[in-house]
Amino acid sequence: MAKIIIDPLTRVEGHLRIDTRIEDGKVVDSWCKGEMFRGFETLLLGRDPFDAPVITQRICGVCPVSHAVASSLCLEDALGIVVPDNGKMMRNLVLGANYLQSHILHFYQLSALDFINVEDILSYTGRDAKLLEVQEWAKQELNSNRVLPVAPFLPKSKGDYPKDKKWNLTALGHYLEALDMRQEAHSMAALFGGKMPHTASLLPGGVTTGVDAATVENFRSRLKKIKRFIETVYLPDILEVARLYPAYANIGRGVSRYLSYGVFQEGSGTWLPGGVLKDDVLSPLNTDLIGEDVSKSYYKSSPSDHPSASVTTVQQHKEGAYTWIKAPRYNGESYEVGPLARLLVASAAGDTEVTAAVAGLLKSSGLKSSQLNSALGRHAARALESLLVAQRMERWLDALQPGQPTVGKYHGNKDRKGEGLTEAPRGALGHWISIEKGKIGGYQNVVPSTWNFSPRDANGSLGPVEQSLIGTDVDLSYQGLEIARIVRSFDPCIACAIH
C-alpha cells in the first residue's frame, strides 16, 4: 500500500496536513489534520462581551467580517438589541464585499495555479508589462538557489497541465488582474467598515457609519468594476476549466448532505435561506441538533457537545487523536457547508432567482446537476454565487435611507446566552456566548472549515473532505496534485477551524 502525505498543503489559510493511503492507483483512506492550536475561545473568557466582535475578527484575515457579523448577531440575541434596516443593509454590503474578495482570492490566488501550466511564461514574447515582470521573476527563481517570495509560480511539480498556451498565459494574466479586483473589494468594505481587514464600524446593533451619498456612489462604481470582472473573466475562466478538466466533475464527491444557516439579513429573515438538505429533501434548521465530537481531536470531552454549553480544554497527547479540528455533526451526521450548500439549499427552498442561475450555469458548462457535487462543482458554485451577491448588493445600495439610523439601542449587559448564525464565504459560521456577571463566561465558534475538514467521529464516520478523497484516481508521479485540487475546492481556512 502506497502513501501520499501532503504536509503542509500550501495555498490555504493555516496549517493543514493531508494523509492518504493508495491501493491500485486509488485513494482508499484519508485523514485531515489541523496542525496547530490558537485558543481564541479561551482568551475571550472574562472579557467584556463587546470585546468579542473585535477579537474574533482576528481569527481570520480573509473572512473577518463574517466573524464580526456572527459575534454581533450573538450579542444581539443575548441582549435583545434590534438592528435598524439601514444597519442590516450596510452590514450586508460590507459582508458582500468580503465575499467577493474571498471568492476571487480563492480561485485565482489559491486554486488557479493547479490548472495552469505556468512554465509557458518562460517563453512569453508579448508586451504585457505584468506578464513580463512575472517572466523575469520566474527566470531569476530558476537560476538561483533561493525561492523568491515574489515569484510563487515556479518550480512546478509534474502534472496533467494544459498544453493550450493561450489559456495558460491568459489565465496567468487574470491571476494578476484578480489582485486588483480583490483590492477594489477591500476598498468597498472599508468605505462602510472603516478599514479592512478587521473592520472598525461593525458592532452589535448595526454599523456606526452613516449613509452618505458620495460614499454610496463610490461603493457603487467599484462594485460595477468587480461585477464586470466576474461576468467577463471569472465565470468564463471557470467554464474553461470545466472544458479542460472534465474528470473533476466526477471526483471529489463529499458526503452529499448540505447545511446552511442563511445569510444577508432582509426584513425578518435572510436573502439566502437556512436549511438542511439530505437525500434531496430540505428540512428546517434545528440548531439544538448541532454537536461537536472530539473523539479524534486533541481536546478533552466536555459536559455537553452542543456549542452553547461546551468547553474547549486541550489534551495535546490524547491517544487516538490526530487533529486540532473538532468534528461538528448535525443529528449525528457530517454535513458539507459552503457556496455549493447555500445554492442547493436556496434552490430547494424555492428561490427562483437562484434556481434559474444554477440552471444557466449547468447549461453553459455542460455539467449535469448531479455533477455539482464535485471538485469542479464547488468552483462553479463559488463563481456563480459571486455574481448573485454582486447583483444583490446593487439592491442593498438602493435600499439605503440617508438620515435614518444605522445602529440600534443598547440597554446594558444581562446574564444571558446568545446564538449568532451566519454564513462566511466558506460556509456555515456559528458563535455562541454565555454572559455571566456582565462578563464572557463561555464562548464557542464553529466555523465552516471545522465542518468540512472535521475528523472521524466516535462512530468512525469521515468528515466531508476526508470522504471526498476516497476513490480518487492518482498518478504517484504527480505527488498528490489530484488530492490537492480536491481539497482546495473546499477553500480551506484552517486558521479558523482550529479553535
Active site residues: 13, 60, 63, 67, 426, 449, 493, 496
267 Cβ neighbours under 8 A, 6+ residues apart = none
323 Cβ neighbours under 8 A, 6+ residues apart = 31, 32, 33, 34, 35, 296, 297, 298, 455
Whole-angstrom CA distances from 440 to 38, 52, 280 are 18, 9, 40
Q: In what order do the strands lie in the sheet with 417-424?
A: 417-424, 427-436, 439-446
* DSSP for residue 122: G
User: At residue 371, what is the residue type?
Assistant: Q
Q: 269-278 and 290-293 as β-strands: parallel, antiparallel, unpaired? A: unpaired
CB 154 within 8 A of CB 109: no
Nearest to 93 by CA among 190, 167, 203, 169: 190
C-alpha cell of residue 309:
454549553
Q: 290-293 and 327-330 as β-strands: parallel, antiparallel, unpaired? A: antiparallel
Strand partners for 5: 19
C-alpha cell of residue 5:
502525505
333 Cβ neighbours under 8 A, 6+ residues apart = 255, 257, 278, 461
CB 473 within 8 A of CB 25: yes
Whether residue 64 has a cis bond before it, omega within 30° of 0 = no
Q: What is the spatial distance between Cα 151 and Cα 180, in angstroms, rounded to a whole number?
A: 17
Q: What is the spatial distance between Cα 380 and Cα 264, in angstroms, rounded to a whole number?
A: 21
C-alpha cell of residue 373:
457535487
* DSSP for residue 455: -
